[in-house]
Amino acid sequence: MSRLLFGKMPKFMIEYIMKSKESEEMYLETIYSLKMNKTAVRAVDVAKELKFTKPSVSRGLGLLKDKKFISVAENGTISLTESGRERAKKIYERHVIMTNFFVNIGASIEVAEENACRIEHVISDELFELIKKQLDN
């Protein structure tokens, strides 16, 4: 994000906003991905997948719940809301497309995955669409 979007906001605030957005997206993508392979996703599954502590995951899920991206049933099962699912699907698509792009230009799957995981959170829609278009050709 540029200074134009944040005006004269201090650098540490910009970094905090970027990190919190990335963290939020990581949680959503992880829940979405786990849902593809499991019928029931719980906080312990998210913690295991992200290699985070249970208290950290509990806090993260609480923030997602406050933003209405997820709901948590009494039995602990996590569900994505419609807006959560849309956002998670977009993030997941970026991850898959970016990974494929990097593999297509010669990166190993490990390097492609690692870098896609970082870039998916900061790439502009415009640049992402150009990469997607390039892969379609």
What 3-state DSSP class applies to 123?
Answer: coil
What is the pLDDT averaged over residues 120-134? 92
22-74 pLDDT, tens digit each: 889 999 999 999 999 998 999 999 999 999 899 889 999 999 999 999 999 99
Query: What six digits make up the tokens of 41?
Result: 């996703």
32 class by beta-carbon count within 10 Å (0-12 exposed, 13-18 middle, 19+ buried): buried
Q: Token pair 């959560």 is at which residue?
A: 84
The per-residue pLDDT for range 82-95, each reduced to its tens digit, is 999 999 999 999 99
pLDDT at site 129:
94
pLDDT at 9 over 50: no
Q: Band the pLDDT of 98: cuts 50, 70, 90.
A: very high
What CATH code would you report for 10-136?
Answer: 1.10.10.10
For the record, the structure tokens of 136 come out as 């379609």
Residue 76 clears pLDDT 80, i.e. is over it: yes
